Amino acid sequence: FHRVCSGADEEEGEGRGGPFDAAKGWKCATCALFEGRVAPLARPACALCPCVSPMNILKPTTCGKWVHLACAIWTPETHLTPDLAAVDGIARV
């Protein structure tokens, strides 16, 4: 499980779209956002749905918002960037 977001295995999930540190291993974008924070941050809301489950993997968007990976995959107007690091097309929804 992810260290912060409790998502799927960090070595396999999300197309490895997050930062990699050889000492710490790969992190998803959500875990990278929260890592090292002393005060807890509010979990970002999905720009495509009202679901707030902590088990859903979040990806950053090219316009500064966050979306669930599943929402991005099932929304025809959106797509992952070529490096799999973000979701594009949110403005078309």
Say what the pLDDT of residue 31 is. 72
pLDDT one digit per residue (tens) for the chain, 93 residues: 455 555 554 444 444 445 455 555 666 777 777 776 655 667 788 999 998 776 678 889 999 999 999 999 999 999 999 988 899 999 999
The CA-CA-CA angle for residues 9, 78, 65, to 5°, reads: 70
- Which positions ≥6 away from 81 have C-beta within 8 Å? 62, 87, 88
Say what the pLDDT of residue 28 is. 73
Rounded CA-CA distance 79/86 in Å is: 9
Tell me the CA distances in angstroms from 52 to 31, 58, 66, 74, one per residue in order.
16, 10, 12, 17
- Fill in the amino acid letter for 19: P
Region of residue 80 (left: phi > 0; alpha: psi -120 to 50; beta: else): beta
